[in-house]
Amino acid sequence: MSYCTQQDLIDRFGEDELIQLTDRNDLGMIDSAMVDAATNRSDNKIDRYCRDRYILPLNPAVDVLDIACDLSRFYLYEDNTTEEVEKRRDQALTDLRDIATGRQKLSAAIATTGSSGMPEFQTGTRVFSRDTLDGF
In this prediction, residue 110 carries a pLDDT of 74
Alpha carbon distances (Å) from 26 to 19, 74, 78, 110: 9, 21, 18, 43
pLDDT tens for 105-121 read 988 677 776 555 556 66
The pTM of the whole model exceeds 0.85: no
